A and B are shown apart, each in its own frame.
Chain A
Amino acid sequence: MTLSESKELENHLLSLGKEELAVWINQCSQGEVILPSGCDINWWTGLAYALASRSRSIEPWDLDWAKIAVAFYEHLNNPTLIESSMALRLNLLQKFGVQEQEDLLNPQIIVQWFERSVQLLPEDALQISQQWRADLAAGDPYAHISNDSLLEIRTIKNKLNIVKELLSIPTFQPTANLLHWIEIQQQLV
């Protein structure tokens, strides 16, 4: 059985060292690499996860491998992959603590990821959630709130699952707005 080109590329990349991989992902970001068919989001997810695993395979965790894993997770700018990247960043912060001069250990990267994407005020998100629950109880859940609106609320809630864990990191100072979001998270759909 012959391997697909994407699987061959995956095996090749996983055989490379840190420096070579860093060069490859940089060239990829510059559009200098032509990828074979099959390099979809699941391909990137698997590859990034394998690299993240290397960073955590021995104590102390290897920040260089983690940096490469983050670069792979964030290459496509896909929301699902970015969320995995932020979860990895959080795990690194929980392990090493805050070092703001180090991009990988700067909690503001996670905070900005949350704040940049939120288009609603907390009160609006709450109102949508309450309306949907009222409509649900009345037997017509989509009477006023669309599926897309529910998914927007759910995206906020999912991001808060990561953001709220920053509170456990010593020296992290949340803004009042962020605290307000965290307080209402459980009331969101």
Chain B
Amino acid sequence: MKYQNFLFVSGLSFILSSLQILPVLSLTSSSNISGASPARQWNWVSSFPNQLSSRLQAELADAKKLGVKPLNVQTQIKTAAFDSVISAGTIKWAIDEAGNLLIIPKNVKGSEIYHSVLTNGAPVAAAGEAEMAGDKTNGYFLLMISNYSGHYKPTGDTIDLGITAFKKAGVKTDSAKKVVQDPKKYS
């Protein structure tokens, strides 16, 4: 029965992925009353492809040359590498198709690092820029979050996915300033 469910979900994911609609693991899933393992919930969200893919290989090579590797916030928070990236300045963030929240520094040695580096150019469920302060001893605070990304052009409503993901990883988001880019505002 479990195998049948797996086939159903996998098949559905494939069909919806081809339509650029992705199921991502709910970022707000909560434990059930008995305290057993959290129930998986699926949120249905849009997928945003890299719209500037022609220079992808050069972007990846430049990032590699500068020693930039994406950090997975859920698993690498409270590490020295994480503290170093968030304290250096603006970060770029994205949620990949598997629901991972990834970050990179926006600038290294004066060179801009692009969102495509976060997922090797793969589509994202959400992306933008953010400012974060704090450290592993005293906690982390999201100061600002936006959906700025010329590569993926995510819609404004995806910012909430980012906020939820940072919060779930342990970042305090209550005071964060939301900067929303919405094409509808420029009509």
Task: Tell me, yes or no, whether A binds B.
Answer: yes
Does more than half of chain A's interface fall in helix, strand or loop, or is it mixed?
helix
Does B109 lie within 8 Å of A40, measured CB to CB? no
Closest to A45 in B: B150
Q: Is A171 an interface residue (CB 8 A)?
A: no
- Contact residues of B between 100 and 122, Cβ < 8 Å to A: 106-107, 109-112, 114
If A151-B143, A157-B89, A165-B109 touch, does A43 touch B148 (CB 8 Å cutoff)? no
Q: How large is the interface on B (under 10, 10 to 19, 20 to 34, 35 or more residues)?
A: 35 or more
Q: Is B183 an interface residue (CB 8 A)?
A: yes
A151 CA / B146 CA spacing, docked (Å):
13
Q: What mask results when residues 87 to 112 of chain A are scored 1 for a CB within 8 Å of chain B, else 0?
A: 10011001000000000000000000
- A-B contacts, 26 listed (Cβ < 8 Å): A35-B186, A36-B187, A37-B184, A38-B186, A39-B183, A40-B182, A40-B185, A42-B149, A42-B150, A43-B186, A48-B150, A49-B52, A53-B52, A53-B55, A84-B112, A87-B112, A136-B139, A141-B141, A148-B177, A150-B133, A154-B89, A154-B133, A154-B144, A158-B106, A162-B107, A165-B110
Does A80 lie within 8 Å of B131, measured CB to CB? no
A156: min CB distance to chain B, Å: 10
CB contact between A46 and one of B129, B141, B150 (< 8 Å): that residue:
B150
Closest to A4 in B: B183
CB contact between A37 and one of B88, B89, B186 (< 8 Å): that residue:
B186
